[in-house]
Homo-oligomer: A and B are copies of this chain.
Amino acid sequence: MNISPEERDAVYKTIFSRRDVRREFKPNPIPHDVLDRVLLAAHHAPSVGFMQPWDFILVSKRESKTQIKQGFLQAHAEAAELFEGERKEQYKSFKLEGIEEAPLGICVTCDRSRTGSIVLGRTAKPEMDLFSSVCAVQNLWLAARAENLGVGWVSIVHDKVIRDTLNIPESIDIIAYLCVGYVEEFHDTPDLERAGWLPRRDASSAIHYESWPESSKE
């Protein structure tokens, strides 16, 4: 199956305009057919040994969101203490999640024992199953962007809070908690770049030929 240049450009448009959304969520619900498409795209991520270790827990209950938001506030306060001076004040000033504003939360998990203990392709690299679930997150994120839905990955919360709130057994790994919803706008650049927290690396600095660059070898 061939992808045309126009279709290719649509993929690039989606990749380059994808954002981590924290403050621009609108309350409008996500239509079922839209959500089904996004989740099906996530489910078609690559997975090691075709184990498809992911699950998606859809969170719309207010009590659950409140509980996860409390977990965020605690982890955020802990984190703030790790920064110093101006950096700490800047960190505290950022809005870093939209847990309660987004109409939907999606928890993406990884069942490492799915399909048994010996998994084709995981034998030499045990973390491959976790990475498969991360690929599902990125598929979900891009599909959502293609539907003009914003996604924000909330990582400033301890797994235990999400586990307790959503009744996730200890045997299941928590990969991501995502906030999903329509948005007021998609900014041209990432929030942290715009705020001057860190600059965008020049792409060429990340590309090397044939081996790790000698100069930066430790």
Contacts and interface: CB of A to CB of B under 8 A. Distances in A.
A184 to B, nearest CB: 13
B55 A208 contact: yes
B206 A155 contact: no
B186 A1 contact: yes
A137 interface: yes
Contact of A168 (B121, B143, B212): B212
Contact of A50 (B57, B134, B155, B198): B198
Interface residues of A, number: 104
A31 B75 CA distance: 47
Contacts of A121: 96, 155-156
Interface in A2-21: 2-3, 6-8, 10-18, 20
Contacts of A46: 18, 20, 138, 141, 153
Contacts of A153: 46
A118 B83 contact: yes
Interface in A160-204: 166-172, 175-176, 186, 190, 192-193, 197-198, 200-201, 203
A26 to B, nearest CB: 14
Contacts of A7: 10, 13-14, 146
B78 A123 contact: yes
Contacts of A82: 118, 123
A133 B19 CA distance: 16
A23 B26 CA distance: 46
Given A3-B17, A56-B207, A82-B123, 6 more contacts: A3-B10, A46-B153, A52-B198, A75-B123, A120-B192, A169-B218
